[in-house]
Amino acid sequence: MNSSVPERLQISPYMAAYVVVAMQIGIGALGFQRIIAQDAGYDAWISVIGAGLVTHIFIWMMYKICEAVEGDVIHANVYVFGKLIGNIINTVFIFYFLITCSAVVGELIEIIRTWMFLDFSPFWFAIIYLLLGMYIVFGGFRTVAGISFFGKIIPFYLVFSFGYALKYGDFSNLLPIFDHSFGQMVKSGYDMSLSYLGFEVLLFFYPFIKNPEQSKKWVHIGLLATTFVYTGLTVISFAYFPPHLLERSIWPTLEMWKIVRLPFVERFEYLGIANWALLILPNVAISLWAASRVQRRSIISVKKRQSF
């Protein structure tokens, strides 16, 4: 099967890292700390690093799959299982990405209703937000990759806001280290895996990478950046929250923003949530793009638009 994509529709190798990271860092970064601490306690930061390193193995395997068939996972499934069974398997990915998109939008709505506007309409917000994601998808994958870039660069200043939590943090909360069993660490790493998910989108946009061999180092660098961000958030959260408070905190990342005080912003968490809505927009756009690509390639035998 021919999986070639015109060069004018492809992205530079380094942009592949932004697409992968855009899918990994999303709504889950606001509340994963409590979940991973349930099994490994405050040793869970070690599990975060371990789970992050495991993602490199999966990325290596994904590149091997795509290189073997000189295409994406859609080609791989048809090549291995045949056209009928392969397309049935591919159909599962449509539902997977649609469910991912729905979960992200649903969680964002829950956060906005809890922290900002209790009476706002979830239906109309979801419609507008999804229409925005679809508008990005109609621009083609280069547009999707571009919003992934800006969706991570523009809100990057939020990283510095966690310096306020460091001021009040007690890093003795993390002691003693290695106070939990290996099994508990593994269970905590498994709980963390949901937040690391998203890198599997590489299996679908691989043909859209110009010189994909050169993208390997950038994607691995992106995975390291994701691991660093999650580990940093974990350590800061564990230092800021005593264990008995963390277990009652649904969104620890948001709660750390409550102590930020700026001359021009009284409720910094409002600003953080607004920026997070921009940060997770690539999650929605990429999910919709991946679902539409599988649908166009596997379900309906119609002529594809060249923008896809």
Across 158-183, average pLDDT = 91
Evaluate whether residue 177 is within a structural domain.
yes
Evaluate whether residue 306 is within a structural domain.
no
Evaluate whether residue 5 is within a structural domain.
no
Residue 103 pLDDT greater than 80, yes or no: yes
Evaluate whether residue 308 is within a structural domain.
no
Residues 140-158 pLDDT 10s: 999 999 999 999 998 899 9
Across 281-292, average pLDDT = 96
Evaluate whether residue 3 is within a structural domain.
no
Residue 302 pLDDT greater than 70, yes or no: no
Q: Name the domain count of the chain.
A: 1
Residue 218 pLDDT greater than 80, yes or no: yes
Residue 4 pLDDT greater than 90, yes or no: no
Across 217-240, average pLDDT = 96
User: What residue numbers bound the domain in which 293 lies?
Assistant: 10-298
Cα→Cα distances 6→63, 118, 308, Å:
20, 47, 10
Share of the chain above pLDDT 90, in %: 76
Residues paired with residue 262 on neighbouring β-strands, in sequence order? 265
Residue 301 pLDDT greater than 70, yes or no: no
Which burial class, exposed, middle or buried, applies to 285 when counting CB atoms under 10 A from its CB (0-12, 13-18, 19+)? Answer: buried
Evaluate whether residue 16 is within a structural domain.
yes
Evaluate whether residue 278 is within a structural domain.
yes
pLDDT, averaged across the chain:
91
Q: What is the pLDDT of residue 226?
A: 96
Residues 51-76 pLDDT 10s: 999 999 999 999 999 999 888 999 89
Record the pTM: 0.91
Q: What is the pLDDT of residue 100?
A: 95
Q: What is the pLDDT of residue 65?
A: 94
CB 195 within 8 A of CB 56: no
What is d(CA 42, CA 12) in angstroms, rounded to the nearest whole number? 40
Complete DSSP assignment for the chain: ------GGG-B-TTHHHHHHHHHHSSGGGGTHHHHHHHHHGGGHHHHHHHHHHHHHHHHHHHHHHHHHHTS-HHHHHHHHH-HHHHHHHHHHHHHHHHHHHHHHHHHHHHHHHHHT-TTS-HHHHHHHHHHHHHHHHHT-HHHHHHHHHHHHHGGGGHHHHTHHHHHT--GGGGPSTT-S-HHHHHHHHHHHHHHHTTGGGHHHHGGGBSSHHHHHHHHHHHHHHHHHHHHHHHHHHHHHS-HHHHTT-S-HHHHHHTT--BTTBS-HHHHHHHHHHHHTHHHHHHHHHHHHHHHHHHT--SPPPTT-
Across 85-114, average pLDDT = 94
Q: What is the pLDDT of residue 300?
A: 46
Q: What is the pLDDT of residue 40?
A: 93
Q: What is the pLDDT of residue 299?
A: 58
Q: What is the pLDDT of residue 1?
A: 40
Dihedral angle sign, alpha carbons of residues 11, 12, 13, 19: negative
Residue 241 pLDDT greater than 60, yes or no: yes
Question: Which CATH number characterizes residue 291's domain?
Answer: 1.20.1740.10
Residue 304 pLDDT greater than 90, yes or no: no
Cα→Cα distances 210→9, 13, 14, 213, 232, Å:
9, 6, 10, 9, 32
Evaluate whether residue 1 is within a structural domain.
no
